[in-house]
Amino acid sequence: MRARDLKRLAAGSDERSRALAAALAGAAEERGLLDVALGSAESPVGPLLVAVTPRGLARVAFASEDPDEVLEELAARLSPRMLESARATGEVRRELEEYFEHRRRSFDLRLDWALIHGFATETLRATARIPYGHVSTYREVAERVGSPRAARAIGNALGSNPIPIVIPCHRVLRSGGALGGYGGGVERKETLLRLEGALGRG
């Protein structure tokens, strides 16, 4: 199924289309044929696309990303067997909603690290340990992974984070407190830090 066909199915405009899509996703999940479940969530940083595999959350995409490219990436690197499924993505969407409503400070989600490799794995695992409401620097993360001179490589790894927000790369700043870059755009990074009350804190 091509990305455009999948989007057309997932975005069914009437109630019957949505019911059929949900029934198809449920049947596929029950038979072990749903490798990647897709869902959408509203947030203060815009609509989010989430992708969940049987191993856990594999992808969170911002609206600024090309949806066709995201779906093509998922099909090529995870599986082309993708469908929208409210049931399979329900836990992820619920925890994101709680986070954005200030009712959750950490996520209890299983993660699928299949889209993360090499140096980025160490970097993002270290980043995942930065507490809510606090920030770190690229240099500090580099030191934590045993590569104190690799601040630039750290930035590249954070910029390619496929699970932003849940793996909180927005909590990593430049030395001196400048925001630095962010895969979803600096405005989104600032919004997330303000939501957590983290600006001006270390």
Could you give the angle at which helices 67-77 and 3-10 cross, rounded to 10 degrees? 110
User: What is the per-residue burial (b if ≥16 Cβ within 10 Å, else e) of 99-127?
Assistant: bbeeeeeebebebbbebbeeebebbbebb
Query: Is 169 among the residues known to form the active site?
Result: yes
Q: How far apart are CA 93 and CA 99, in angstroms?
A: 10
Among candidate residues 169, 173, 195, 198, the one labeled active-site is 169
User: Which DSSP category does 135 fall into?
Assistant: -
- 102: tokens are 């200030």
Which tokens belong to 32? 């072990």
Enumerate the active-site residues. Answer: 169
